Amino acid sequence: MGKVAFLFAGQGSQYTGMGKSLCEASPAAAAVFSLADSIRPGTSAQCFEGSAEELAVTINTQPCLYCVDLAAAEALREAGIHPDAVAGFSLGEVAALTFAGAFSAENGFTLVCERAKLMNTASEESQSGMVAILKLSPEQVVEVCEREGDSYPINFNCPGQIVAATLRSKKESLAAAVKAAGGRAVPLAVSGGFHSPFMQSASDGLRQVLANLPMEAPAIPVYANATAAPYEGADREMPARQLVSPVYWEKTLRRLWADGFTTFVEVGAGKTLSGFVKKTLPEAVIVNVEDAESLGKAMETLKGV
């Protein structure tokens, strides 16, 4: 078996009850939530009992998903399963950096909470949102967005699936333009146009937060969304740059494969990233950990890795 990469899930994969059985099965996972509650009281309750509407609000979504991501990864580490590298989708990159030792557990959670607040504010100020675009090439999506204006390709997820950020008032117009080009557009239930120029104020604010936050060089490679390449040392600029840069996820997966990674373990809520891996790297071994049951299965699959 080749090298193993942990992939930390991003926003949109949240659901009521996430993380609960992980905490019951793993002391290491429970410790992640305990620390979160000491900094942001009620985080565990939101994950375990919060409504879909409550969890969809960015200032709740990001801290909650971060905890599930990190809890799943720590449960695996507790079981003796260690990745050779990590990558995280959007907010998952903060969890990946924390797991890799770039931030302490406390500072990583503090960072994701500040990130959520800044992005929520920028979303409301810009009145932006997202649209998933299917069945068009990257070049076609770029062309459609440029023609529409105030629209930007932001998530290059996998072959045939790209997400664009646009003004909420332009979602229907962008969808019509995508249809005219032969594609299909699906409006996404997220509160802002992340990873685009709409997030400039959030990026500037996060840069200030990072300037005062201790950061170390990651102990294992962390592949960055904005470059599809590993972080170079304690790069404080990269997490802020990420907010206004596209997420090059397909490119990241292909870079990992080229670097010898053949086993991909999605840690966190849902199986969205597992789907992206399957569509991009059909020969890869794919495992996910989001609850006690999937943790047990993953441990069997990864035994001896």
CA distances in angstroms from 264 to 69, 81, 206, 257, 277, listed in the order given: 14, 13, 29, 10, 8
- Burial per residue of 14-40, b for 16 or more beta-carbon CB atoms within 10 angstroms, e otherwise: beeebbbbbbebbebbbbbbebbeeeb
CB distance 18 to 68 below 8 Å: yes
CA atoms of 67 and 59, how far apart (whole Å): 13
Strand order in the sheet with 285-289: 222-223, 85-88, 3-8, 261-267, 285-289
β-bridge mates for residue 151, sequence order: 166
Partners of 4 in beta bridges: 263
- Spatial contact of 33 and 26, defined as CB atoms under 8 Å apart: no
| Amino acid at position 297, single letter | K
Q: Is 82 a catalytic residue?
A: no
Q: Which of 26, 44, 90, 128 is catalytic?
A: 90
* Contacts (Cβ under 8 Å, ≥6 apart) of 121: 201, 202
**Torsion angle in degrees (nearest 10) through CA of 263, 266, 267, 271:** -150
What tokens does 136 get?
Answer: 């068009």
Among residues 195, 196, 245, 294, which one is catalytic?
195
Taking residue 117's Cβ as centre, other Cβ atoms within 10 Å add up to 18
Catalytic sites, residue numbers: 90, 195
